[in-house]
Amino acid sequence: MDPRRPLVLLYDPEETGVFRLAHPMLAVSRVRVRMISPDQVHRTVGELAGVDVPRPAGAQKTGPDGAQPSGGAEDADRDGSAVPADSGAEQGAGPAEGAEEAETAADAPAEPNALVMLFCFFDKRTFDKVLRDLRRADLPRDVYKAVLTQTNAAWPFIDLVRELERERRAIDERNKNL
């Protein structure tokens, strides 16, 4: 399997079927699709994408807030692929500016209930086309979209989803005040 061929990871924990419209469109664009199940949310984003995420010796996985993950599988020994530096998104070390304080494990649900599309290994042209096609497919607004980066590849998927939720709340709050 070529890890550089575009891949979309889909997370639909309640199996709503909202991504049914996206599957044929992604297939036409030669984009691989992989579903993420609720029992995989503690695996790293990079592991789910099928890449080895290099970390300094002794370093542990951390989420967007720098916290240690609450559990999950250890990194699988993959094909040695690295996350592309030019993945098409800015790389940040933590929560978006103005984001709320990080949720503690006790405050957050065991598994996120959000719909997520995670784009991996896209060149700009293919990414723009797929986003255009997705807008035409009328996916609901509440579907979170993210891009695999060198930074978020080391995060547990559940932490990425929580960060997307925090960012959406911050954007909605800002828009309410306009």
Segment 33-70, tens digit of pLDDT: 999 999 999 999 999 999 987 664 555 555 666 655 44
Q: Number of H helices and number of E strands within the chain? A: 4, 4
Phi, psi of 173 (to 5 degrees): -65, -45
Q: How many CB atoms lie within 10 A of CB 174?
A: 10
Q: Point out which residues pair with 7 in neighbouring strands.
A: 32, 120
Element (H, E) at 126: helix 124-136
Contact 6, 119 (CB under 8 A): yes
Q: What pLDDT sits at residue 3? A: 54
Contact 145, 46 (CB under 8 A): no
Q: What is the mean pLDDT of the chain?
A: 77
Sorted by where each begins, the domain ranges of the chain are 7-176
Its pTM stands at: 0.72
Closest CA to 36 of 128, 170, 149, 148: 148
